[in-house]
Amino acid sequence: MMRNDETALVVFSGGQDSTTCLFWAKKNFGKVTALSFVYGQKHVKEVALAEAIALKAGVEWECMDVSFVGNLGKNSLTDSSIRMDMEKPEGTCPNTFVPGRNLFFLSIAAVYARERGINHIVTGVSQTDFSGYPDCRDAFIKSLNVTLNLAMEEQFVLHTPLMWIDKCRTWAMADELGVLDIVRYDTMTCYNGVQGDGCGHCPACKLRNDGLHKYLACKKNNS
Amino acid sequence: MMRNDETALVVFSGGQDSTTCLFWAKKNFGKVTALSFVYGQKHVKEVALAEAIALKAGVEWECMDVSFVGNLGKNSLTDSSIRMDMEKPEGTCPNTFVPGRNLFFLSIAAVYARERGINHIVTGVSQTDFSGYPDCRDAFIKSLNVTLNLAMEEQFVLHTPLMWIDKCRTWAMADELGVLDIVRYDTMTCYNGVQGDGCGHCPACKLRNDGLHKYLACKKNNS
C-alpha cells in the first residue's frame, strides 16, 4: 500500500491483532488515532493495556463506554454466568460471540471519524482465523463499508490488513514493523485476562501461541 | 403482502410513520412487538406516547436506553445549544440529522430480534419525504439488511411499508387500517414536542400537516 498522508482511525482493543494494525497504520498514514471500547467485557484490564500501548506508540487515544453492546445478546465474554465454549460448536457460533460487536464498534468508529473529518478506519479482523465469528469475514466488512457510506453519505474506507493472513503471518508482520516484543509482551488476547503469552489453554491463547511458535521456528530455520 | 403468522418487531418512536407501521404490522403478522429508544432526544414525552399507543394497540412494548447514539455526533435534535435548521441546507444534511441513527436503531433491533427468534423487522422510513436524511433511503436499508444478515448469520427481513409513499398516502394507509384518529391525535412528530397536529411551523409539522390536508381534501372530493 502507498503511504497516505491523511489520518487513520484504528479500532483498538489492545490485543495482538489491533496492536499490529496500530503500527501498520503508523507506517502507512500521516496521523493515527486509536479508539478503544468498554463494553462490559470481563477483563477491563485490556483497556489500561491499550492506553499504555497507544502512549508507547505515540498516537492519540480515546476510550468510549458502549456497555449496551455487551448487554444486547447473551454471550460468555460479558456474562460470567455462562460457561465459555472452548471450541466452536457444530452448526453455530461459539458463545464467546457477542452479537453485532464488530457491527457496533465499526459503526461507532465511523460516526466518530466523520465528526473529525477522518475517512480511513482500520480494523484487525481476519477471515483466516475467524473462529466461527461471522462478523470477522470479508463479505461482512465490505457490505458494512457500503452501508456506512450510504448511511452518512460519506466515503469511508475500511482497511483490514490482517483479513487474509493467519496468526503466524500476523507475527511476521509485527516483526517486520519492528514491534514483535511490544505485541508479544504488552498486549492481551487471552479470554482469561492474562497479559502477554496468556493462560495458554483458552481458544484465543491456543491460536495466538501456535502462530507465534510457528513463526519463531520458521524465523530460526531461515537465519 | 400475504399475511404472515410469524412475529414482527416494529421500531417504534410513537410518531405518525412508525404508528402507521405498527398497525400495518398488526394486520400482516401473527404477533407484533414494539421497540422504542431513548437516545437523548429533547422530547422524551414521545416515549410515554409510544407506550400509550402500544397499550391501545394491544402489542408488547419495550424501551431501551441508547443515549450514546445522541452523543456521538453533533445535531440539533439532542443538543439544545444548536439552533435547528428549518430547511435543508444546500449540499448537506439538515442539522436535525443524528448521524447513524437508523443504522444503530435497526442494528440494535436486529440483535434484540435475534435473541427472541424474530426475523421480521419493520421501520417507518420513507425515501419519498426523506428530507435530506441519507439513512431513510431504500439503498441504505437494503444494504443494511445484507450487512445485518452477514454480521450475525441470520435471515432478517427489513420491511419498509412507507418507503415509496408520501405523507398524503401514509394518512390514507392509516385510514384504511381504521386508525386515522389514533395516528392524528395520539402521536407526536413535531420537533417542538407538541402532540397531535403539532406546533404547525417546524419542518416535521409542515410535512405532516400538508399531507393530512391533502388527504382530507381528496377524501372529501371522493365522497
Which residues are registered as beta bridge partners of A9? A33, A121
Say if the Cβ atoms of A147 and B152 lie within 8 Å. Answer: no
| Tens-digit pLDDT profile for residues B118-146 | 999 999 999 986 667 899 999 999 999 99
Say if the Cβ atoms of A151 and B139 lie within 8 Å. Answer: no
Say if the Cβ atoms of A115 and B74 lie within 8 Å. Answer: yes
Distance of CA A29 to the CA centre of its chain: 18
Of the residues B150, B154, B155, the best mutation for testing chain A's interface (the one with the most A CB atoms within 10 Å of its CB) is B150
* Residue indicated by cell numbers 479508539: A35
Output the pLDDT for position A99: 81
Say if the Cβ atoms of B68 and A72 lie within 8 Å. Answer: no
Output the pLDDT for position A95: 59
A141, closest residue in chain B (CA to CA) = B147
Q: Does position A42 have pLDDT exceeding 70, yes or no?
A: no
Which cell numbers in the block locate residue A203?
481458544
- Kind of pairing, strands A120-122 and B29-38? unpaired
Say if the Cβ atoms of A135 and B151 lie within 8 Å. Answer: yes
| Tens-digit pLDDT profile for residues B26-61 | 999 999 999 999 887 766 788 999 999 999 999 999
Give how far Cα A221 sits from Cα of A215, B118, B187, Å: 10, 54, 72
Output the pLDDT for position B4: 85
Say if the Cβ atoms of A107 and B102 lie within 8 Å. Answer: no
CB of A146 less than 8 A from some CB of B = yes
- If one compares A100 and A61, the residue with the highest pLDDT of the two is A61
Question: Which chain B positions have a beta carbon within 8 Å of A104's beta carbon?
Answer: 104, 107
CB of B147 less than 8 A from some CB of A = yes
- If one compares A183 and A88, the residue with the highest pLDDT of the two is A183
Q: What is the pTM of this model?
A: 0.88
| Tens-digit pLDDT profile for residues B173-194 | 999 999 999 999 999 989 888 9
Q: Which of A69-73, A121-125, B91-95 has the highest mean pLDDT?
A: A121-125
Output the pLDDT for position A85: 59
Give the ipTM of the model, two decimals please. Answer: 0.86
Q: Does position A180 have pLDDT exceeding 70, yes or no?
A: yes
Of the residues B63, B114, B136, B143, the best mutation for testing chain A's interface (the one with the most A CB atoms within 10 Å of its CB) is B143
* Sign of the Cα pseudo-torsion (A143, A146, A148, A150, in order): negative
CB of B90 less than 8 A from some CB of A = no
E-state strands within chain B: 4-11, 29-38, 60-65, 120-122, 157-159
Q: Which one of A66, A107, A151 has the shortest CB-CB distance to B140?
A: A151
| Tens-digit pLDDT profile for residues A50-89 | 999 999 999 999 998 887 777 776 655 555 665 655 555 5
Output the pLDDT for position A93: 56
Mean of pLDDT over chain A? 88
CB of A90 less than 8 A from some CB of B = no
Output the pLDDT for position A164: 96
Output the pLDDT for position B91: 60
pLDDT band at A148 (very low <50, low <70, confident <90, very high): very high
Say if the Cβ atoms of B144 and A139 lie within 8 Å. Answer: no
Q: Does position B102 have pLDDT exceeding 80, yes or no?
A: yes
